[in-house]
């Protein structure tokens, strides 16, 4: 019998203690998800002792954040009065320029955006004022240093920066209905998740954005709408548009022949943080299929809401980023002032300086081949890649 290390009741008790004894988690839909996740972590993930410890800390911290969120909403009901305008959402396969585009747009002060430190520490720490997050920013820097020291390859795959814009999927993890299989091989959880209504994850995201927006106002930050970014939304585009009506979507494109092996390398790198038995072939094949399903889903959703989407090719983001920005601003109906353009150009110069060594990988290492990728992604490549280069 598999020894149980991840016990939902024990994790919940630890989280309550960490949150000062409060017990209201809000929406109870997280509980069955937590139970399935814990079972999969024990039975399938092949976690190392260190990986098990880090994953426990992660789950306890996320559960404690849920508790503290509900407590904050009770003590500050005005948070729920924050109006989250329809966001601009960047989606696309990982490794298609989404991070570069997200951080470039974040230079415009009219956009709300979430920094990495906020994704990890979204609520004020005990004794910390909402308008003075210096302690959380410092913790964010420590976490980035720890992650990049433990796995230097990460910087070449996904540039880590505590105070730059990052993915809101890390907020959605608090729902326990999210891409935890990015950290470990847990196929039973993944299969279960695909059969669930994931609206609670997006509703939780909306509440977290209200709280972050409320905090930013207390720091004197004024903006108009959020710019979000997460490849995860490809798989749940219908729910994203339902929970955030009026959202506009920028979809980035790069040939899967290039992006899919790169994604496989990224996932394999993440799995190795938590396990010393990570299987690169399993990582590659699992996430190749995951991305295929996500692209197919988004293509179907786009047929019913074509005006909500704008396409951007990876090479344009790399070679002509300001041309891409001007197209985006035409799409959303905003002017692009000289000051904003100057800030974006200055960031592009600094971003070029920060690039580290090339990300080296081989498709075969991850059980992938050009023939398989061409077959699996034929519909997507025909619509968004081959037609764009014809």
Q: Kindly give the pairing relationship between strand 111-112 and strand 248-253.
A: unpaired
According to DSSP H, which parts of the chain are helical? 8-18, 30-43, 49-75, 98-105, 116-120, 134-150, 153-157, 169-172, 187-194, 199-218, 237-243, 256-274, 280-304, 314-319, 321-332, 338-354, 370-376, 378-380, 387-389
Q: Encoding tokens for residue 278?
A: 């990570």
Looking at per-residue pLDDT, the higher value among 159 and 52 belongs to: 52
* 117 neighbors 163 (Cβ within 8 angstroms): yes
Residue pLDDT, tens place only, 53-82: 999 999 999 999 999 999 999 999 999 999
Q: Which whole-number Å values give the CA distances from 287 to 103, 254, 292, 350, 371, in the listed order?
A: 25, 16, 8, 32, 17
Q: Which whole-number Å values give the CA distances from 193 to 142, 181, 196, 235, in the listed order?
A: 32, 10, 5, 11
Confidence category of residue 147, pLDDT binned at 50, 70, 90: confident
Sheet with 88-91, edge to edge strand ranges = 111-112, 225-229, 88-91, 248-253, 309-313
Give the span between the Cα atoms of 108 and 341, in whole angstroms: 9
Confidence category of residue 359, pLDDT binned at 50, 70, 90: low
As a whole-number percent, the residues of the chain with pLDDT over 90 amount to 89
For the beta carbon of residue 355, count every other beta carbon within 10 angstroms.
10
How far apart are the two ends of the chain, measured CA to CA in Å? 57
Within 8 A by CB and 6+ apart from 388, the residues are 253, 311, 313
Residues β-bridged to residue 226 = 112
* 376 neighbors 289 (Cβ within 8 angstroms): yes
Q: Which whole-number Å values give the CA distances from 174 to 8, 60, 321, in the listed order?
A: 14, 10, 34
Q: According to the model, what pLDDT value does residue 358 have?
A: 60
Give the span between the Cα atoms of 5 and 42, in whole angstroms: 6
If you compute the radius of gyration of the chain from its CA atoms, what whole number of angstroms results? 20
- Chain-centroid distance of CA 68 in Å reads 21
Q: Rounded mean pLDDT of the chain? A: 94
Check pLDDT > 60 for residue 84: yes
Give the span between the Cα atoms of 385 and 390, in whole angstroms: 9
Residues β-bridged to residue 286 = none
Nearest residue to 271 (alpha-carbon basis) of 47, 63, 85 = 47
Q: According to the model, what pLDDT value does residue 357 have?
A: 55
Altogether, the residues listed in the chain come to a count of 390
Confidence category of residue 345, pLDDT binned at 50, 70, 90: very high
Q: Which whole-number Å values give the CA distances from 91 to 49, 54, 172, 249, 345, in the listed order?
A: 35, 29, 15, 7, 23
Rounded to 5 degrees, what are φ and ψ at 234? -55, -35
Q: According to the model, what pLDDT value does residue 13 have?
A: 98
Q: What is the pTM of this model?
A: 0.95
**pLDDT, average across residues 297-315:** 97
Q: Encoding tokens for residue 188?
A: 């039973």
**H or E element at residue 309:** strand 309-313
Q: According to the model, what pLDDT value does residue 371 have?
A: 97
Residue pLDDT, tens place only, 178-218: 999 999 999 999 999 999 999 999 999 999 999 999 999 99
């Amino acid at each position: 019998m598999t020894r149980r290390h991840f016990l939902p009741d024990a994790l919940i008790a630890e989280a309550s203690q960490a949150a000062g004894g409060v017990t209201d988690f809000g929406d109870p839909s997280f509980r069955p998800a937590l139970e399935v996740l814990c079972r999969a972590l024990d039975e399938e993930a092949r976690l190392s002792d260190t990986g098990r410890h880090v994953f426990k800390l992660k789950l306890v911290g996320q559960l404690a954040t849920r508790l503290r969120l509900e407590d904050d909403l009770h003590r500050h009901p005005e948070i729920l009065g924050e109006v989250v305008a329809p966001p601009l959402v960047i989606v696309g396969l990982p490794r298609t320029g989404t991070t570069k585009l997200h951080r470039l747009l974040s230079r415009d002060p009219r956009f709300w955006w979430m920094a990495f430190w906020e994704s990890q520490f979204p609520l004020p720490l005990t004794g910390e004022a909402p308008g003075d997050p210096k302690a959380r920013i410092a913790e964010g820097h420590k976490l980035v240093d720890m992650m990049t020291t433990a796995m230097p390859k990460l910087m070449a795959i996904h540039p880590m920066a505590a105070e730059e814009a990052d993915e809101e999927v890390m907020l959605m993890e608090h729902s326990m209905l999210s891409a935890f299989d990015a950290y470990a091989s847990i196929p039973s959880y993944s299969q279960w998740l695909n059969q669930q209504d994931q609206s609670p994850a997006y509703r939780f995201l909306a509440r977290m954005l209200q709280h972050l927006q409320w905090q930013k106002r207390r720091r004197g930050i004024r903006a108009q709408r959020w710019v979000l970014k997460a490849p995860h939304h490809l798989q749940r585009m219908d729910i994203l548009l339902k929970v955030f009506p009026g959202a506009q979507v920028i979809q980035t494109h790069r040939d899967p022949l290039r992006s899919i092996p790169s994604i496989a390398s990224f996932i394999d790198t993440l799995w190795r943080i938590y396990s010393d038995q990570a299987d690169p072939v399993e990582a590659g094949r699992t996430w190749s299929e995951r991305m295929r399903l996500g692209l197919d889903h988004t293509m179907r959703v786009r047929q019913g809401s074509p005006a909500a989407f704008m396409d951007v090719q990876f090479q344009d983001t790399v070679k002509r980023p300001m041309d891409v920005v001007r197209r985006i601003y035409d799409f959303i109906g905003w002017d692009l002032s000289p000051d904003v353009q100057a800030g974006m150009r200055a960031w592009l110069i600094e971003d070029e300086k920060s690039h580290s060594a090339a990300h080296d990988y081989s498709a075969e290492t991850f059980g992938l081949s050009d023939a398989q990728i061409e077959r699996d992604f034929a519909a997507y490549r025909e619509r968004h890649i081959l037609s764009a280069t014809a």
